[in-house]
Each structure stands twice: as C-alpha cells, then as structure tokens.
Amino acid sequence: MTHLGLFAKWPRAGLVKTRLATALGTPLATRIADAFLRDAVIRFHEIAERQVIVFAPDEDRELFCNLAEGSWELEPQGPGDLGERLQRFFTRCLTSVGDVVIALGTDSPTLPVEFVSRAFDMLQSHEVVLGPATDGGYYLVGLSQPRPEIFEGIAWSSADVLGQTIDRLGDARVALLPVWYDVDTPEDWQMLRGHLRAWHRAGVRIDCPHTAELAGISLL
C-alpha cells in the first residue's frame, strides 16, 4: 500500500511562520500558513492509497477533522523532535511487505504533485527517496523499509539536514527528486510571489488558489 503523510501544524497566531512574522506581521504570516495548509490538503488528497494528516498540536484534532472533511485520515504527531515524530509515522505505516511511505510538509505550496507521484514510483526500486530543498533540508522523505538511523541525531532546522541525512544512509539504495524550495523567510515569500506571477503571466495552471490569493493573483 502507498501511504502519504502530510505533516501539519494548525495555523495559530504567533506559533507558525515566525520568521515571516518578523517582516510581514503576525496576522499575514498566520494567513499564509493557513493558505499553505489548505492548498496542500486539496492538492495531494488523491495521490496515495492512504493519505494521513499527521497533525500538531494533538488537541487540535477537531479543527483538522473539519478541514479534512473525510478525505484524509488523522494521526497526532505526538511528542519529541521532528525526527522522533517522523520515525513514529514511518514505523506505524511500514508493517507489510510492499508498503511504501512518503512524508512531506506544507511549506512548499508550489511543489509539483508529479514529484510526489514520481517518488512513489522510485520507492519500487529504492529504499529511500529524498526531495532536496534549497535551504539545505528536504521537502520530502520516502521509505520502502525502516531506516530509523536517518532520523536520529539530526540538527533539525539547520542548513545541514540533508547532508547529515545522507551521511546516515549507509548502503541504502537512494533516489533523489529535483530540488525545490520551502517558504519560511520574507525572502522566500517574495520569491514565491514572483514565481506565481510568472506562472500566471505564462499561462501555467496554478493549483494553490489560497496561496495565489494572498500573493495578489486572481485566478477567476
């Protein structure tokens, strides 16, 4: 079975997109986080046989339930750093021969859906798939068998996440997706706005309508 886990935090003011908030203000940063989440739920909801919103904080289940409207399962992220939370999700999913599992976040609103489909295909012949991010981390990680070591001892939120992960792969068969970008800083937001305007001007279909609206683009 193919499993997709969307790791998401409920967009509460002051608790999300804090680096954006320093330049854009907390209200807009919160709206941006909300738009990213809503677009991700729409964009990726039919790409796997089983799709799960792996949510935080645990007490916000009802809010996520209303957002998912039955199209996603829900699982709490639980305690610990990102590595511990990722490892728990993969352990829960990798229980049968043939299971393949992908986790991604909500910080890449323009990430091509085709990249995720390609990652599932890659996992038929590779143990690990990574989607490198321009900030030195990764926007996607996929496994076809347990590899707990890649989540241990990582300096999360640093520019060396991808490098440290690669160092822990040993002899695993690894596949890489194209590099893409997360949106965490004011500079990232400006790049995203330019990217969306360029797509719109070139007639490229934009499938993140909530984000596009905040970027000043009307899709009507």
Q: What is the mean pLDDT of each run of 10 residues along the chain (220 residues)?
A: 97 95 96 98 95 97 95 96 97 94 97 98 97 97 96 94 96 96 96 96 95 90
Domain 2-182 has CATH 3.90.550.10: yes
Question: HSE-up of 182 (CA within 13 Å, CB side)?
Answer: 22
Residues sharing a CB contact under 8 Å with residue 218, sequence separation 6 or more, in sequence order: none
- Tokens representing 106 are 């909500």
pLDDT at 131: 98
Coil vs helix vs strand at 197:
helix
Distances (CA, A) of 6 to 22, 25, 83, 130, 151: 26, 26, 15, 15, 17
pTM of the model: 0.95
Q: Give the residue carrying structure tokens 């007639």.
A: 203
- Please return the burial class of 129, using the count of CB atoms within 10 Å of its CB with bins 0-12, 13-18 and 19+: buried
pLDDT in tens, 160-211: 999 999 999 999 999 999 999 999 999 999 999 999 999 999 999 999 999 9
pLDDT at 219: 84
Coil vs helix vs strand at 188:
helix
Q: How many CB atoms lie within 10 A of CB 159?
A: 11
Question: Which stretches of 44-145 are DSSP H helices?
Answer: 61-68, 82-93, 113-122
pLDDT at 218: 87
